[in-house]
Every structure is written in structure tokens, then in C-alpha cells.
Chain A
Amino acid sequence: MDATILGLLIADGITSGVIYGLLAITLVLVFTVTRVLFVPMGELLMYAPLTYALLVDHKLPGSLWLGAAFLVAWGVLDLLGGARRAGLFPFAGAAVLVGFGTWAASTGSPALAWLLAVGVVVLMGISTYRLFFEPIPHASVLTYLILSLGLHFVLQGLGLVFFGPEQYRIAPLLPGEAQLGPVPLPRQNFAVYGLALVWVLALYGFFSRSLYGKALLACAINRRGARLTGIRIRDAGRVAFTLASLICALGGMLLAPLTNAAYFMGFIPSLKGFVAAVLGGLVSYPLAAVGAILVGTLEAFSAFYASAYKEAIVFALLLPILFVQSLRTLEIGGVEE
């Protein structure tokens, strides 16, 4: 192995590590606030570029209809639950989504498509929470996990229906390559790094400076205590899902030019995000980010030596990580409050 290959592998590892890191951070964010291990995060990540690809191709993608359907279901649930105000808001949102989508598809404008692709994923993320998790606020972590795996299958299956089995390549924001020492790197990589950096800083600021962020943290640390001080756990969950799906949508838009996008390509990165997040005990952002870079690098190197088994090697990494976690714990055996 020479320096160029080494450099390439490391750069490759860092790029995928950053993506896993974005996923890991969103998973930790959602988990700490809502106790949901949201497996379909990867599907949301893929829905954004796929929606974009169809829109610029003058097609109205099914994901817009799904988003609209979710919003309608939200509105119906609110009406059935006797919501006091804004009962019609979700219906209007659904209409706007479809109308806007039709217009964007007819013009095929990339800017409009970009906006809509990100918007629909965010709407989908938050309404998934509203429809499937809010109705059972006291369920166990395990129930939520089973539910979110079920949703993974629904979203992945629908992905095939909406977008077909093809892989799409979308135009990069930053075309061309940069030369970093001996290593040629696509400029788009830097967009991904930049996004990750901005997000980490923004989340840091949000959680340490803003009251809303602190309220979210309070929910993460002690739900009952947070509720007693007047924080609405439900709203905190919605904010967490909104932020998380926004990170995912943007991540997907920046990633797709580098790796293509297809309906089935979200799940594995999402699992690797979990592997990284587990390193931080599913609660620590910095450790999750470090874990993600580790996972990405390990994957790049195992791809070089044993490409067919690179995924298997990454998943096997979970065992030693869990082993270390299990040594650190002094509990009498996984007692959950």
C-alpha cells in the first residue's frame, strides 16, 4: 500500500464516516428526546434525493403523495381527538404540498425541486412521529423499536413503488475535483464536511444557548422532571423529529451526487449510524461522531482488503463495542426505569 492509496482510503473513510456521523447524531437526538430508535432514518435520507431526481425529470413522485397522505391522516386524528385549534392546518399543508409539487414538476426547476425534496422529508419525519409514536406515549423502548422497524419496511417498500429499482445520480452542488496532496477529492465532499460542521456547531449552540434546546435536553435527561417544569414532551418530540429529518434530508441531498441514490440504499448507513451511536452509549454526540469516523475508516480499509465482507466486518465491530460498554456498567443487569 502506498501513500496515495492510504490517503484515498482515509479520505473515503472520513467521507462515509461523516455521513454515518450525521445519521448517528440524528439517531441520538431522536432517541434521547423521545426514546425512539428511529431505524427508518436511512429511508428518509434516501427519499430526499430520489424525490429531487423525479421532480427535475418532470415527474410527480409518490413521496409527495405519501407526505400529503400523512398530513391528511394527521388532520383527521386531530379532528377525532377534538383539537381545539388549527384542525384544518394539516389539510391545507397537504394541498399546498401537492399543488407546489405539481408546479415544480411542470417547471423542472432544480431550485424548486431541492426545496420541495427537503421539505417533504421534513414533513414526513414529523408526521411519522405524530401518527405512529405520539398515540402511545408510555410505550417501552422495545415497543418503539419494533414499531420503527416496521416503519422501515413500509418506507423501504414504498420507496420501491415510488422510485423503482433504478439508481439515480443527481448533479453535485460543487462540481469537479480538488487535489489534496496526492489525493484527488471530489469538491462535493467538502459540501458534506461543511454541512456536518455546521450541524455540529448549530446543535451545540442550540443545546447550550437556547431555552428551547435546554428544554429538549431536559426531556432527554429526565422526562418526568421536564414535564413537571412545564415542558411539553410531545412538542419536544416534534422538534426532535423535525431537526432530525432536516439533517437527514440535507445529508441525503449532499451525499447522493457522490454515491448515487436508490430506495434500498438508506438502511445500511442507518444501521452503521446505530453502530457509531452505540459507541457513545446512544446518548453522547461527540462519542457518536468519533464512532462514526471510526466506522467509516474501518469500512474503507476492509473494502480494500475484503470488499465482499466489508459490511459484515463493520457489524462485527459492534461486539467489542458492546463488550466494553458492558464492562463499564455497574447495574445489576439492564434495569430500566
Chain B
Amino acid sequence: MIRWILLGLAFAAIPFLPPFYLTLLNFMAISAVVALGLYLLTGLAGMSSFGQAAFMGLAAYTTAIATTRWEWSPWTSLIVALALCGLAAVVLGSVTVRLKGHYLPLATIAWQMALSILMGNLVSVTGGHGGISEIPALRLGPLSLRDPREYGFLTLGCAVLLALACAQLASSRMGRALRAARGDGVVAASFGVNLPLIRLQVFVLAALYAGLAGWLHAHFLRFVNPQPFGLEASMRYVIMAVAGGVDRIGGVFLGTGLLTLLGSWLQDILPVLFGRTAQYEVIAYGLILAGILLLAPRGLWPFLEAYLPRHRPPLISGHTLPAPPTPIPRSEVLLEVRNLTKNFGGLVAVNGISFAVHRGEVVGLIGPNGAGKTTCFNLITGLYPPTRGEIRFAGHLISGRPPFFIHPLGIARTFQQPHLFGEMTVLENVALGTYSRTRSGMLACLVGWDKLRGEEQAALAEAYRALERVGLAHLAHEKAGKLPLAQQRLLEIARALASSPQLLLLDEPAAGLRAREKQELAQLLRRLAEGGTSILIVDHDMDLIMGLVDRVVVMHYGEKLAEGAPEGVQRNPRVLEAYLGLPVEVAG
């Protein structure tokens, strides 16, 4: 509520501001649009770019050239400018999104330098350092947006709308996927997120935000030159976002506001203090940035946020997601592993393993530490490609396919060490499990279409139901990082359940649980199996395993040692030898 009142006041103030502050307000709003793009890119997805000013420049020069030389309408040139920005971002992004995080910023620096040089030197097209002037003012029907006062409504309106879009995206399935991709790519991929694709999408989105800002800039000043689109400017946008707090929309606005005011103040005061008009602002910016990163790495917003009213958690109600159709025939082979081998350099972690899991069956995968059980899981879920052998799931050949292909077919897993997102709530963590059961894309989430269709509410209701099944519903709105280990393991199971899997892979779910919690876990797993979910479970608690499973597969040094009903395996001499280290004489 308070946010909306503040927003209303900001708009109501526009007609009364003196001209100097009006200009500043316009610059602030334009910068905020760029910084909001960085919120998506850095705040949500954990990527970074030092080329946002170059995207602005590309759009600004496109509209400047199109409207002055070819006399296009600015609105047509907006579309073309955004298309060009998108294209540049696709080229830059597609060569870097598969690589480690620091390649993207390096690539954007190079792109920024290259474009700056072109803007300055391609005189016949860009007018060189003199720039292009007499860009026409925007017209909105009969209204000419010549005056900073009228233009302020447009720029501030754009900033507010785009901020709303950011908020929509952040609280959607794509927002969760982006935050998951930043926190732990392995988990994100294991729940169906195509990491390179969504990274590319969010980079393009940020470039489009910057492109719009560039277009606004060009028609506001009605003049373009290379200077506001250089590396220094790109750097300034990063500083604005980081100084305010790049992982909060409020932080982005705070940083933009402060740095714009500070910039205009520094421009006035520094030459007076030091005489010569050197690059004192630049030095100040650099020092501010260093100071913030060292002393308040999350920016200034957290200090302010403590005084703001808290968000009320969303009410969870209504329909859950439609259940995926479960094929009826029981005892059909669901997962088939044949001759599976994985070498890490000279180490053979898994050596020629074959086994099968039938529909509705609970299979235990046991063996001493280092037997290759977790590697098996990683191979089945697609984290590593196998060296040899093949894996089939429900009729699909899945070996060698990426996790985001395998998971939607109906395989979900938990991790030996809980891989949760401590900064996200318990409910949000579980809702990541519904990612591959929901469809809304980046654009749909950006405009809130997923919420209009009720998909997001259904996903949250589904997540809530999964929490109820593991008995954590009362903690739904806590931060996941606050939970003790046992509850984190249950949370991992809930996240896997939210994806409504046909096959559940559990990697030591009972480790660290107390006896009573283990009993509850066993009951839960039995109910799941009765409901038709197949389970492949790794654990060292033999009481739990033997009381739960239909069959056991024993692994030792990467090889299959034995397979069969629990009673038979418990008497198998080779198994006893592997576990107890003694050759055991068994008669008959």
C-alpha cells in the first residue's frame, strides 16, 4: 500500500518540479530502466554485463539515424532498435551462456569497446564524436512530448511498468528457475531447467530494457553522441544497481536515485574542490563501488528494508496442477540400466552395471562408500554422460541426454547433501519442483499471464500439498536456510514430489534422521509406492532399506555384486564379505 502511495506522489509531483529536477528525474527514470534490466540479469540470474550502455547506444543511434535521415516514425524505429538489440544480445549470449560465469562480462566489455569505437569512428553513419542532432520529438497522437515535464510521465511510466513486469517475473516459475540457476545450476537442471536457454533469454531481456532506455534517451535529449554510451556509462549502471542492492527492485531504484543525485552533485562540487576538471567523478564512482562491495555487499537496500512493512505471504488455496496421466500396467519395466560404465580419467566409478526398476517397485541400491551409487544416480539423471552402456526410461533412450530432457519424462531426485536455496522460502524451493509441469514462458511470466491463467497459483498449491505430504506445511513461508538438516531432507523429498515423478531417486534420505523420523519417512515412501510411484533408494540404514524395498541391488567398487529380494541378499556370502571384509563360509 505504502509503495503505491509513494508512486502516486512521484507522479503527482511531476508538474510541480523545477526544470533542473525534471531533467534529473527523466535521467533517473531512464537509468532505472537500464538498472532494472540488470536486476533481471544480475539480481535474479546472477550473470553480469558491462555492455548495457552499448545496447542503449545501439538503440539510440538506430532511432537517431532512422528518424533524421529516413524520416521514420520514432515508434517504428523503436521496434527496429529493439530488434537490433535483441539480435546483438542473441549473438553475444549464445557464445557465452554455456561457459563459466566470467566469460559473459568479458564478452560484454569487448562488445562495449567495439561499439564505442564504431560510434566514434564510423563518421559517415554516426557523425563521429559530433553525434547526430535534431532528432524529432516524440508525438503521442495529438500530444507532442517536447517538454521534460510531459516526457517525465513517459519515462517514469516506463520505469514503473517495467518494474512491475520485473516483479511479476521474479514471482513466477521463470523467476524461480533463474534464481535456482544462480544458486545451484545442478539442481536447476535436475528439475528441468534448460540453463543455457534461460540465461540467453534473460540476457536478451536485459538488452531490450537497455535498448528501450537508449531510445528514450535519444528522444529526450534529441541528440546523440558516443559519450553516454561508453564503458564508463555501462560501469555506472552496474554501480547503480549494486549500490542500491541488485537483488531487490527497490534497491535498484534506490541506487539509481542516489547515484544520479550524487553524480550531479559531484559534477558541481568536485571541480570547485580540486580546481581542474579531471575525471574526479569517475574516481569517486570507483571508490564508492569498492566501498560498497567491501562493506555492504548486498547494497544499501537491506538497511532500508528493515523499516518497510513486510510482504504478506501469499494465501495458498484452490486447485493444484492437473495430475499427469499415469499409465496403469504395473510390473512393466520403467527404468532399464544396461551395461552402464563411467570412467573419470583412469578411475572406473561404475563398471558394467545392469538392473531394472519396475513400475510401482521400490528398489534399494546399496553398497559400501565409494561403490558408485551416487555416480549411478548422476548418470540416470543426466548430470554426466555415461562412458558406455545405455539407460532407458519408459521407452525413451535417456543416456547421454541432458538433465532438463530427462527430468520432465518423470524422474526426480534428492541429493545426498541437501541442495536447497537458503534465501528462498520453503514453499518457493518446493515450487521449483513444479517447473516442468508448468508451461508459461519468459514473456508470459513478465506480463503476469501465468497468474491470470491461474497456473502460478496452482503450482503453489501443488507445492503446498507436497509440503503437507512430508509434514512441513507449517514452515512454508520460512527461509529454507533456517531449517535443520532432517527437515532439509524432507524438503528435498517434497520438491521431488512436487514434480509428480514416476520414478523417485532418493540419495541417502535417512542420513541424520532420528529413529522416529525414519519411521515417518518409511511410511511416506510406502504410501508413495502404493500410489504407483517407483522408488530407487540409496541408504546405509539397513533396517530402513530391508523393511521398505521389494528388491536390492548391491554395488561394490563400481560393479554389481548381487541382486534380489532383501532376505536372499542378506545371506549372500559375497555381500557379507564386501560389508564385513571377511570371507564367510556358507554351507550349501
Note whether A and B form a binding pair. yes
B186 in the interface (beta carbon within 8 A)? yes
- A326/B98 in contact, CB under 8 A: yes
A201 interface residue (CB < 8 Å to B): no
The SS class assigned to the A binding surface is helix
B12 interface hit (Cβ, 8 Å): no
Answer whether A332 and B117 are a contact pair too, CB < 8 Å, given A150-B286, A160-B278.
no
Contact across chains for B196 and A309 when beta carbons are under 8 A apart: no
For A142, the closest partner residue in chain B by CB is B48
Q: Which residues of B contact A319 (CB under 8 A)?
A: 91-92, 95, 107
Interface string of B339-369 (1 = CB under 8 A from A): 0000000000000000000000000000000
Chain A nearest CB from B371 CB (Å) reads: 23
Closest chain A CB from B284 CB (angstroms)? 8
A248 to B95, CA, bound (A): 31
Tell me, in angstroms, the Cα distance from A37 to B48 when the chains sit together: 14
Interface membership of chain B positions 291-334, coded 1 if the CB is closer than 8 angstroms to chain A and 0 otherwise: 00110010000000000000000000000000000000000000
Most B CB atoms within 10 A — which of A141, A325, A332, A335?
A332
CB distance from B434 to the nearest CB of A (A): 21
* Chain B, range 79-105, C-beta contacts under 8 Å to A: 91-92, 95-103, 105
| Residues in A309-337 with C-beta less than 8 Å from chain B | 309, 311-312, 315-316, 318-319, 322-323, 325-326, 329-336
How far is A308 from B118 in the complex, measured between Cα atoms in Å?
Answer: 9
Residues of A within 8 A of B279 (CB): 153, 156-157, 160
Interface string of B476-514 (1 = CB under 8 A from A): 000000000000000000000000000000000000000
* Shortest distance from the beta carbon of B103 to any chain A beta carbon, whole Å: 6
Chain A residue numbers with a CB within 8 Å of B102 are 37, 141-142, 145, 282
- Check B280–A145 contact: CB distance below 8 A: no
Is A332 a contact of B195 with CB atoms below 8 Å?
Answer: yes
Question: Knowing A154-B283, A332-B402 touch, does A309 contact B106 (C-beta < 8 A)?
Answer: no
Q: What's the count of A-B pairs with C-beta under 8 Å?
A: 163
**Of the 9-residue stretches A110-118, A226-234, A271-279, which lies at the interface with chain B?**
A271-279
A153 in complex: contacting residue of B118, B195, B232, CB < 8 Å:
B232
For B190, the closest partner residue in chain A by CB is A332
A161 in the interface (beta carbon within 8 A): yes
Contact of B117 among A312, A322, A334 (CB under 8 A): A312
A132, A275, A315, A325: the one contacting B294 at CB < 8 Å is: A132
Contact B185 A334 (CB under 8 A): yes
Of chain B, the residue at the smallest CB distance from A282 is B102
Assuming the contacts A333-B189, A333-B199, asked whether A149 and B235 have C-beta atoms less than 8 A apart, the reply is: yes
Across-interface contacts of B242 in A (CB, < 8 A): 146
Q: Bound state CA distance, A3 and B35, in angstroms?
A: 52
Instruction: Check if A331 sits within 8 Å of B286, measured CB to CB.
Output: no
Give chain B residues whose Cβ lies under 8 Å from the Cβ of A290: none
Do A315 and B48 have beta carbons less than 8 Å apart?
Answer: no
| B182 smallest CB distance to A (angstroms) | 10
**What residues of A have a CB within 8 angstroms of the CB of B122 in the complex?**
308
CB distance from A267 to the nearest CB of B (A): 9
The yes or no answer to B111 lying at the interface (CB within 8 A) is yes
Q: Are A336 and B101 in contact (CB under 8 A)?
A: yes
Contacts of A308 in B (CB 8 A): 117, 121-122
Does B170 interact with chain A (Cβ within 8 Å)?
Answer: no
- The A139-168 residues at the B interface (CB cut-off 8 A) are 139-143, 145-147, 149-154, 156-158, 160-161
- Cα A311 to Cα B118 in complex, Å, equals 10
A136 proximal to B (CB < 8 A):
yes
Q: Kindly state whether residue A176 has any CB partner on chain B within 8 Å.
A: no
Q: Which residues of A contact B286 (CB under 8 A)?
A: 150-154, 157
B46, B97, B114, B403: the one contacting A316 at CB < 8 Å is B114
B219 to chain A, nearest CB (A): 27
A333–B282 Cα gap in the complex (Å)? 35
> A150–B117 contact, CB under 8 A?
no
Could you give, for residues 275-291 of chain B, a 1 whenever the CB lies within 8 Å of some chain A CB and a 0 otherwise?
01011101101110110
B289 touches A150 (CB 8 A): yes
Q: Contact between B99 and A322 (Cβ–Cβ < 8 Å)?
A: yes
User: Which of A139, A325, A334 has the largest count of B CB atoms less than 10 A from its CB?
Assistant: A334
Mark contacts of A225-254 with chain B using CB atoms, 8 A cut-off: 1 yes-contact digit, 0 otherwise. Answer: 000000000000000000000000000000
Instruction: Report if A135 contacts B (CB, 8 A).
Output: yes
Pick the contact of A332 from B48, B115, B186, B294 — CB < 8 Å? B186
Q: Write the chain A residue with the least CB distance to B104.
A: A334
Contact B113 A271 (CB under 8 A): yes
One of B100, B107, B114 near A311 (C-beta < 8 A): B114
Task: List the B side residues contacting A160 at CB < 8 Å.
Answer: 278-279
B97 and A333 contact, CB distance less than 8 A: yes
B576 on the interface (CB 8 Å rule)? no
> B377 at the A/B interface (Cβ < 8 Å)?
no
> What is the minimal beta-carbon distance from B535 to any residue of chain A, in angstroms?
25
Q: Give chain A residues whose Cβ lies under 8 Å from the Cβ of B96.
A: 322, 326
Q: Does B238 contact A (CB under 8 A)?
A: yes
Contacts of A330 in B (CB 8 A): 385
User: In the complex, which residues of chain B have a beta carbon less than 8 angstroms from the beta carbon of A150?
Assistant: 235, 239, 285-287, 289-290, 293
B110 at the interface (CB under 8 A from A): yes
Q: Which residues of A contact B50 (CB under 8 A)?
A: 149
- Chain A interface size, as a band, is 35 or more
User: How long is the Cα–Cα vector from A158 to B106 in the complex, in angstroms?
Assistant: 24
| B126, chain A: closest CB distance, angstroms | 12
Task: Please indicate the chain B residues that have their CB under 8 angstroms from the CB of A153 in the complex.
Answer: 232, 235, 279, 282-283, 285-286
Whether B110 pairs with A332 at a CB distance below 8 angstroms is no
Instruction: Give every chain B residue within 8 A of A161 (Cβ-Cβ).
Output: 274, 276, 278, 280, 283
A326-B294 contact given A142-B46, A146-B242, A271-B113, CB 8 Å threshold: no
A150 to B282, CA, bound (A): 9
Cβ 8 A contact of A334, one of B195, B232, B274, B385: B195
A309 near B100: Cβ-Cβ < 8 Å: no
A28 to B540, CA, bound (A): 44
B105 contacts A145, C-beta separation under 8 Å: yes
User: A145-B105, A271-B113, A318-B107 are contacts. A329–B99 as well, Cβ < 8 Å?
Assistant: yes
Bound CA span A142–B91, Å:
21
Are A271 and B109 interface neighbours, CB within 8 A? yes
Chain B 240-267 residues near chain A, CB threshold 8 A = 242
Please state if B121 and A333 are interface contacts (CB–CB under 8 Å).
no
Q: Which of A66-84 contact B (CB under 8 A)?
A: none
Chain A 253-268 interface 0/1 with B at a Cβ cutoff of 8 Å (1 = within): 0000000000000001
Bound CA–CA A275/B105 (angstroms):
12
Chain A residue with the shortest CB-CB distance to B234:
A149
B25 CB–A CB distance under 8 Å: no
Residues of B contacting A309 in the complex (Cβ-Cβ under 8 angstroms): 117-118, 121
Residues of A contacting B186 with CB < 8 Å? 332, 335
B120 nearest CB neighbor, chain A only: A308
CA distance A141 to B104 in the complex (A): 12
What 9 pairs between A and B have smallest CB-CB spacing? A333-B195, A154-B286, A157-B283, A150-B289, A335-B185, A153-B286, A315-B110, A308-B121, A315-B114
A-B pairs with beta carbons under 8 Å apart, 20 shown: A139-B297, A140-B101, A142-B46, A145-B102, A149-B235, A150-B286, A150-B293, A151-B290, A161-B276, A271-B110, A308-B117, A308-B122, A311-B114, A312-B114, A315-B114, A316-B110, A326-B98, A332-B383, A332-B403, A336-B101
Interface residues of A (CB under 8 A from B): 37, 132, 135-136, 139-143, 145-147, 149-154, 156-158, 160-161, 268, 271, 274-275, 278, 282, 308-309, 311-312, 315-316, 318-319, 322-323, 325-326, 329-336
A142-B105, A149-B238 are known contacts; what are 11 more A-B pairs with Cβ within 8 Å?
A143-B297, A154-B290, A158-B283, A308-B121, A315-B111, A332-B185, A332-B383, A334-B100, A334-B199, A336-B100, A336-B101
